[in-house]
Amino acid sequence: MLEPYFNKYAGVQFFCDKAVIADESLSDVRGWVKGAGPQPLSQVYEYTDEIVKNNVDLKKCPPPNSEEQEEPRPVIPEPPKVPEPVEQPPAYIEPQLVTAVSPPIWICGGVELPWTIEFWNVGAGGGDEYSMIDVYANGCNHDVVTETTHWYGTFEGGPNGKMTLYDSELIDCRLVDGEVVSCSGFTFFDEEITLPFEVLNPEAFEDWK
């Protein structure tokens, strides 16, 4: 075959070009080389790549010089939106000492003996210095009121925060709407009870409402 020989040494697709000249006129072929000449066929192409589709001028498809096309900018996904917390206090709340008192647990020599909880409204949210709670009550010995006993723990803060007593994992205390501290896990005479503590100054939680 002579075609590979001419292709190798002439540097052209010799027989292919010869067939084109034979089938078409020489003037048409010369025009095609320069980018002109007859246009017997038109074809519509569709870009499936959305990024390319949005950056190519369909009237000049493809552009005369592909190097002049700007690189498409990468699509940067939007960061996910972080939902707001259900209970979000203002930027600053004035710390206030809160006192909550239980109903009388027993009567000693005619004296009613309730339990008391003191804590800060901001709790641990206002810093470690406001996280401490103090639960205290007086005892009774043969109708004589004895000295006060204290139990300590921590408070989360806010009108619905949780309280944790040191060395008393069975006792669960929670503040409800800034008005009542409900403590479960207390045992009296072998019976487990839930003890409510009424908050004496609920206005300390007005900034959360």
How big is the chain by its Cα radius of gyration, in Å? 44
Please give the model's pTM, rounded to 2 decimal places: 0.54
**pLDDT at residue 152 is higher than 60:** yes
Q: What digits encode the pLDDT tens for the residues 186-209?
A: 776 677 778 899 999 999 999 887
Note whether 102 and 162 are same-domain residues: yes
Higher per-residue pLDDT: 152 or 72: 152
What's the token pair of residue 64?
A: 């005369």
* Residue from 132, 95, 138 nearest 116 by CA: 138
* Packing angle, helices 14-23 and 26-33, rounded to 10: 120
Same domain, 130 and 61: no
Residues 106 and 203 in one domain: yes
DSSP, collapsed to helix, strand or coil, labels residue 82 as coil
Judgement on whether residues 63 and 113 belong to the same structural domain of the protein: no
The mean pLDDT value of the chain amounts to 77
How buried is 14 (Cβ within 10 angstroms: 0-12 exposed, 13-18 middle, 19+ buried)?
Answer: middle
Residue 85 maps to a domain: no
In a domain, 81, yes or no: no
Same domain, 137 and 203: yes
* Domain-located, residue 83: no
**Using 50, 70 and 90 to split pLDDT, how confident is the model at 74?**
confident
Same domain, 102 and 201: yes
Give the per-residue pLDDT at 52: 61
Do 50 and 103 have their domain in common? no
Last residue of a domain, one of 46, 67, 88: 67
Residue 88 lies in a domain: no
Has residue 84 been placed in a domain?
Answer: no
User: Residue 131: its pLDDT value, please?
Assistant: 94
- Residue range(s) defining the domain that contains residue 180: 97-208
Q: Does 78 map to a domain? A: no
- What residue type is 38 in one-letter code? P
Dihedral sign from CA coordinates of 91, 92, 93, 95: positive
Q: Would you say residue 172 has pLDDT above 60?
A: yes
Number of domains in the chain: 2
Confidence of residue 84 (pLDDT cuts 50, 70, 90): low
**Shared-domain flag, residues 106 and 149:** yes
- Residue 198: per-residue pLDDT: 96
Residue 48 inside a domain? The answer is yes
Q: What is the pLDDT of residue 194?
A: 85
Residue 158 pLDDT exceeds 90:
yes
Exposed / middle / buried, residue 173 (Cβ in 10 Å: 0-12, 13-18, 19+): buried
159 CB burial (10 A radius; 0-12, 13-18, 19+): buried
Q: Flag whether pLDDT at 6 surpasses 50.
A: no
Exposure pattern of 107-117 as b/e (b: 16+ CB <10 Å)? ebeeeebebbb
Same domain (yes/no): 55, 107:
no
Are 56 and 101 part of one and the same domain? no
